A and B are shown apart, each in its own frame.
Chain A
Amino acid sequence: MNPDSAPLLDPDLLLRRLGGAREIAQEVYGDLAASLPARIQECRHALAAGDSDGLRQALHTIKGSAATAAAEQVALRASNLGVLARDLAGNEEAVRSALDDLEVCVNRTLAAAGVSHE
């Protein structure tokens, strides 16, 4: 699925998951803001070290958190990037570019959630 065709955030889905507890939704967004940028940095370190497993593990975590918080685009991009990162050798540029896109998407998502770390 093309990430761009998915909503950046689906607050209604998250609210349904939380039984309508808006204050908890805000807490979840806060958790995302505390987690995702750090995970992106983990991805960059792993990529620089050529550590495919470490990269995929970090992406896996990003995908899990984002999917749980109904941050659809981040979840899809992290998932696609995880597939791409299986074969890292000779593929670093494509992965780096996709990682850049993912970081941008993360920042947009956090901004949309009102918890931008910038």
Chain B
Amino acid sequence: MYLSGNPQRLLSQKKYGIIVTMKVLLVDDEQVILTVSKQALSGIARVVDTRTDPKDALDLDLASYDVILSDFYMPGMRGDEFLKEVRARAPHVPFVFLTQNEDLSVAVELMRQGADDYISKPINPTNFVFRVRKVIHEKEQERQINQVLEEQKLLDLENRKLANWRILYASKDARQTEMLVSNLSRNINQAGGFLWLDLLAGSLQEVDQDNYSVPKAVMEMALNSARNQERLFNQVTYIGSLEDLELDMRSMDIAQFHEEVSTIVTREIVPILGSYERTVRWNTKPPETPGPETVTVDLARLTEVLRELAVNAIKYSPAATPLIMDITVQEENKTKMVAVQVSNIARRLEARDDSGNHIHGIPYDYKELVFDLFFTMEGFPEYLPEESWTDGSGLFIARKLMRLMGGWITANSGVDYTPARPQPLVRMEVRLPLEKPS
């Protein structure tokens, strides 16, 4: 049984319940040929359209046919001209010439010009039907092969893209290392590098056998520089120790979780924001949860993470604007999770994008980059004393902590529609998976 790949044809095959599926166009200036050929095809063709003039045939929807059969010598338009017109309108429809025996050399030439086959007249019905079906089958196979080749090309393209990504990520790792080195050296040099050591050593005045005296300014500069350097090296040491961090994980339902986060907001976030004359818009209503799912979390670490996000929000939002916090229940890839959202109005940064425009919020390209170690949106970011992790390591550590708890943090830009004039928002989302109680 011949099966075309065209679903419409398969549908019509089902509809008729027999193998009558094909739609054929016959073109020959001799009605006798058309009548006999049409009858021969009646067993396999759903539709056989006939035309004695090829010019009339060109008005038909040629691409809708499964095969076009044509005479060569026709008044007004020869078969090769007709073939050319058909190829321009329906390049994939099989085209077969009906020729008389003595026209074989012509037939071979026509196949060179793009015909798919030729059938000698007078037709032998069995051979005729066989050849017509064969040519359609071959054309369909050719189409499928071309499709596979096209898919292969796309696959190769994807693989090349993947390879490019690998290279990109490899270079990104290298870039991150470079950023780490640059950041350390910059901070160290900002504090005078290790000049403080030489200055301190050169300023020492022996007072007696047990004491040196040092000018106060030199001592203060040395201490300040050393503390900055200590902070940076502590940061590196801390990051190195995170893998061995012991967590105090507790399971609770959504209502309890909301209550615990409310406590963190009240006790930790509100006072920090208050000292910068900021407020928190905290949704005091817990999310509605249809099921008894629980969330497992180390509350002390979550507090650190939320503090970090609150401090970040202060740094990257205009003065006097509020921090907006909420808890939502979400589902992604069939995984239910609870998310603590920490949003702030986006301020214009000094940093500029590739087009030279000031950056507002977190551009799409930076959504992941902001979580890179030692990445900072600004070249010389502001430091706040409430920051636990500085120098572009805050979001990296925050995400790492969440990952240790089985969660994640995402960064997105959005719009706050609650004020009369909508404002651009940066939204950090601390996500934790929800589990069904065992």
Residues of A within 8 A of B (CB): 14, 16-19, 21, 24, 27-28, 31-32, 34-35, 57, 60-61, 63-65, 67-70
Min CB–CB distance A36 → chain B (angstroms): 9
Assess the B39–A68 pair: CB atoms within 8 A: no
Known contacts A31-B31, A35-B30, A57-B73; A64/B121 CB under 8 A: yes
Known contacts A17-B125, A60-B100; A28/B30 CB under 8 A: no
Assess the B73–A68 pair: CB atoms within 8 A: no
Question: CB-CB < 8 A to A57: which residues of B?
Answer: 73
A31 to B30, CA, bound (A): 8
Q: Does B35 have its Cβ within 8 Å of any Cβ on chain A?
A: yes
Assess the B33–A64 pair: CB atoms within 8 A: yes
A65 to B30, CA, bound (A): 7
Assess the A61–B73 pair: CB atoms within 8 A: yes
Assess the A68–B31 pair: CB atoms within 8 A: no
Q: Does B43 have its Cβ within 8 Å of any Cβ on chain A?
A: yes
Assess the A32–B32 pair: CB atoms within 8 A: yes
| Nearest 3 CB-CB pairings of A with B | A65-B32, A31-B31, A67-B122
Q: Does B40 have its Cβ within 8 Å of any Cβ on chain A?
A: yes
Question: CB-CB < 8 A to B32: which residues of A?
Answer: 28, 31-32, 35, 64-65, 68-69
Partner of A19, one of B31, B39, B122, B123: B39
Min CB–CB distance B105 → chain A (angstroms): 14
Q: Does B36 have its Cβ within 8 Å of any Cβ on chain A?
A: yes
- What does the 1/0 interface line of B109-128 toward A look like (CB < 8 Å)? 00000000000011111000
Question: Number of B interface residues, CB 8 Å?
Answer: 19
Scoring A14, A24, A65, A68 by chain B CB atoms within 10 A of each residue's CB, the highest score goes to A68
Assess the B33–A68 pair: CB atoms within 8 A: yes
Q: Does B29 have its Cβ within 8 Å of any Cβ on chain A?
A: yes
Assess the A63–B100 pair: CB atoms within 8 A: yes
Min CB–CB distance B326 → chain A (angstroms): 77
A72 to B53, CA, bound (A): 26
Give the nearest-CB partner of A67 in chain B. Answer: B122
Min CB–CB distance A6 → chain B (angstroms): 14
Q: B120-151: which have CB < 8 Å to A? A: 121-125
Question: CB-CB < 8 A to A31: which residues of B?
Answer: 30-32, 34-35
Min CB–CB distance A70 → chain B (angstroms): 8
Question: CB-CB < 8 A to B124: which residues of A?
Answer: 17
Partner of B122, one of A32, A34, A61, A64: A64
Question: CB-CB < 8 A to A18: which residues of B?
Answer: 36, 39-40, 125
Known contacts A28-B36, A61-B73, A64-B100; A34/B125 CB under 8 A: no
Chain A contact surface mostly:
helix
Known contacts A27-B35, A34-B31, A61-B30; A67/B121 CB under 8 A: yes
Assess the B29–A19 pair: CB atoms within 8 A: no
Partner of A68, one of B29, B42, B43, B122: B122
Question: CB-CB < 8 A to A24: which residues of B?
Answer: 35-36, 39
Assess the B40–A68 pair: CB atoms within 8 A: no
Give the nearest-CB partner of A27 in chain B. Answer: B35
Min CB–CB distance B71 → chain A (angstroms): 8
Give the nearest-CB partner of B33 in chain A. Answer: A68
Min CB–CB distance A76 → chain B (angstroms): 13
Question: CB-CB < 8 A to A19: which residues of B?
Answer: 39-40, 42-43, 125
Q: Can you give 22 A-B contacts (C-beta < 8 A)?
A: A16-B125, A17-B40, A17-B124, A17-B125, A18-B40, A19-B43, A27-B35, A28-B35, A31-B30, A31-B35, A35-B30, A35-B31, A35-B32, A61-B29, A61-B30, A61-B73, A64-B32, A67-B122, A68-B30, A68-B32, A68-B122, A70-B122
- What does the 1/0 interface line of B18-40 toward A look like (CB < 8 Å)? 00000000000111111110011
A34 to B32, CA, bound (A): 9
Min CB–CB distance B109 → chain A (angstroms): 17
Assess the A17–B31 pair: CB atoms within 8 A: no
Scoring B32, B33, B35, B122 by chain A CB atoms within 10 A of each residue's CB, the highest score goes to B32
Min CB–CB distance A78 → chain B (angstroms): 11
A24 to B38, CA, bound (A): 10
A17 to B33, CA, bound (A): 11
Assess the A64–B30 pair: CB atoms within 8 A: yes
Min CB–CB distance B132 → chain A (angstroms): 15
Min CB–CB distance A97 → chain B (angstroms): 23
Question: CB-CB < 8 A to A63: which residues of B?
Answer: 100
A92 to B112, CA, bound (A): 37
- What does the 1/0 interface line of B36-51 toward A look like (CB < 8 Å)? 1001101100000000
Question: CB-CB < 8 A to B29: which residues of A?
Answer: 61
A32 to B36, CA, bound (A): 12
Question: CB-CB < 8 A to A67: which residues of B?
Answer: 100, 121-122
Question: CB-CB < 8 A to B100: which residues of A?
Answer: 60, 63-64, 67
A57 to B100, CA, bound (A): 12
Question: CB-CB < 8 A to B30: which residues of A?
Answer: 31, 35, 61, 64-65, 68
Question: CB-CB < 8 A to B42: which residues of A?
Answer: 19
